[in-house]
Amino acid sequence: MSKTIAFIGLGIMGLPMAKNLVKAGFTVRGYNRSPQKAQDLAAAGGQAASTIAEAVGGADVIITMVPDSPDVEAVLTGEDGVLANAKSGAYWIDFSTIRPDVAQDLAAQAKEKGLKPLDAPVSGGEPGAIDGVLSVMVGGEQADFDAVSDVFDAVGKTIVLVGPSGSGQTVKAANQLIVAGNIGLLAEAVVFLEAYGVETTSALQVLGGGLAGSKVLEQKGQKMLEREFDPGFRLALHHKDMGIVTSAAREAGVAIPLGSTVAQLVASTVQQGNGGLDHSGLFTVVEQLSGKTGQNGDGQA
């Protein structure tokens, strides 16, 4: 039998993920604070719910994809929330990126209510969500992970159970640390290349074919050259994620000197009012530091 899925949070990532679940043959009821997003899902073959309770009622799998720890807590524990309305035995998959300790606490609360929790943050950005090829790092029980493997397969390509509840969020924190560092260094490289008048498109092409090549270079390099930072993943969210990383590292007694530096650069970008840019917009602060603002991709003013 096809599973009925409640999908809460139909933003830049959530809506294409929910659409892919519809394409895979699941019955998907979507809820979003902005109702139009639920209507967009309905237009793609899903169902629009006007409340969380309506979305969750009777669902076999409940998915949350919202911005931050307080948002997940509100969706789960609110009067109209998941815990008050989900059927016992339902699987709860949280695709959000939140603090590992919060994920552990909410998983415990979910278990007390008879739910089967899996924290499953994703990586791959909007393109990965649209194409259904996200990397999914999952924390939870093996049996629960196996039971909803078909759900994960509909949205992701690399799907790995990395440990008990909270482990998925810990791995995602490490992912965001690496991504932010790569974006920062790519920005520095582009500013460096432009300062010497190099034909930057060709330069990034050859760099991408060597050890410097990465998904970050592939997906974000051209954005930097064109100064085009429409959000696939907003800087404000990466700022939140870097806060998770630096806090967790401090608690573990781990030094992250490069990570701390890029966290400050991300914070500076956000404080300048650019939190709505794609995280490749970190380039704007790196460019400012070299006094090169206003140049184009050929190094010309």
3 state SS of 124: coil
Q: What is the distance of C-alpha 73 from the center of its chain?
A: 17
d(CA 145, CA 120) in angstroms, rounded, equals: 10
d(CA 91, CA 60) in angstroms, rounded, equals: 6
Q: Annotated catalytic residue: which of 3, 37, 116, 172? A: 172
105, two tokens:
């606490």
213, two tokens:
């090549």
| Rg of the Cα atoms in the chain | 20
d(CA 111, CA 274) in angstroms, rounded, equals: 39
What are the start-end ranges of the E strands in 77-190?
Answer: 91-94, 116-119, 122-123, 134-139, 156-163
Is-contact 145 119, C-beta < 8 A?
no
Is-contact 27 47, C-beta < 8 A?
yes
For tokens 């009821």, the residue is 29
Q: Please, which residues have CB within 8 angstroms of residue 136's CB and are 6 or more apart in sequence?
A: 95, 120, 121, 122, 152, 155, 156, 158, 159, 160, 168
188, two tokens:
């520095």
Closest CA to 296 of 218, 191, 168: 191
Active site residue 215: no
Which DSSP helix (H) or strand (E) runs through 238?
helix 235-252
Residues classed as catalytic: 172
